[in-house]
């Protein structure tokens, strides 16, 4: 099984992920925009047991999700402040890594059949939503655990806001 490594900005916290992601989520929610300082988070999702930290242990900041009310933990480097991973009270068996922290941030597949976009209702103006990819207005999974129905575009769409 392949191991893919990553690190924070200063290198004090290193991370290793075994195997392929369960899925790749592109999240456009306001929390992910704020935590990344960007338009969205590229988040490869792994089984919790497939992710390990070496060198220093990351610190944790706990946040209550506006949508579910459940705890979302941001794992970050105490020295440089770089965010490395999210863990979820709602989904305890998986974690989401910050895709840009991998030594090779292009190693995991994206695109049709490989990724899904969630919380597109919060997508920033100018973001291009891709064609042939599952898009969800909110989360892909309803609070009661049922899957939500995706939107699939025939052509890319640039988000326009008033």
Domain that holds residue 21: 3-158
What are phi and psi for residue 7, nearest 5 degrees? -160, 170
Q: Per-residue pLDDT for 137 more than 90?
A: yes
The pLDDT, as a whole number, for residue 87 is 97
The residue with greater pLDDT, 43 or 111, is: 43
* CATH number of domain containing 64: 3.90.1590.10
Residue 140: closest CA among 150, 130, 128, 152: 150
Q: Is 125 exposed, middle or buried (0-12, 13-18, 19+ CB in 10 A)?
A: exposed
> DSSP of 76-128, one letter per residue?
E-TTT--EEEEEESSSTTEEEE-GGGBSSTTSS--STTTEEEE-GGGPPTTPE
pLDDT tens for each residue of 41-91:
999 999 999 999 988 999 999 999 877 788 999 999 999 999 999 999 999
52 within 8 A of 4, measured Cβ to Cβ: no
Q: How many domains does the chain divide into?
A: 1
């Amino acid at each position: 099984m392949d191991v893919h490594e990553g690190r924070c900005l200063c290198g004090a916290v290193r991370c290793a992920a075994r195997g392929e992601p369960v899925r790749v989520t592109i999240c456009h929610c306001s929390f992910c925009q704020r935590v990344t300082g960007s338009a969205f988070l590229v988040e490869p999702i792994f089984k919790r047991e497939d992710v390990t930290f070496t060198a220093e242990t990351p610190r944790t900041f706990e946040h209550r999700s506006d949508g579910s009310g459940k705890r979302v933990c941001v794992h970050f480097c105490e020295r440089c402040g770089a965010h490395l991973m999210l863990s979820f009270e709602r989904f305890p068996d998986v974690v989401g890594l910050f895709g840009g922290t991998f030594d090779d941030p292009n190693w995991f597949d994206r695109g049709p059949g490989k990724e899904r976009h969630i919380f597109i209702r919060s997508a920033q103006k100018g973001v291009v939503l891709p064609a042939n990819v599952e898009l969800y207005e909110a989360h892909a999974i309803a609070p009661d655990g049922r899957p939500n129905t995706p939107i699939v575009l025939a052509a890319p769409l640039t988000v326009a806001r008033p």
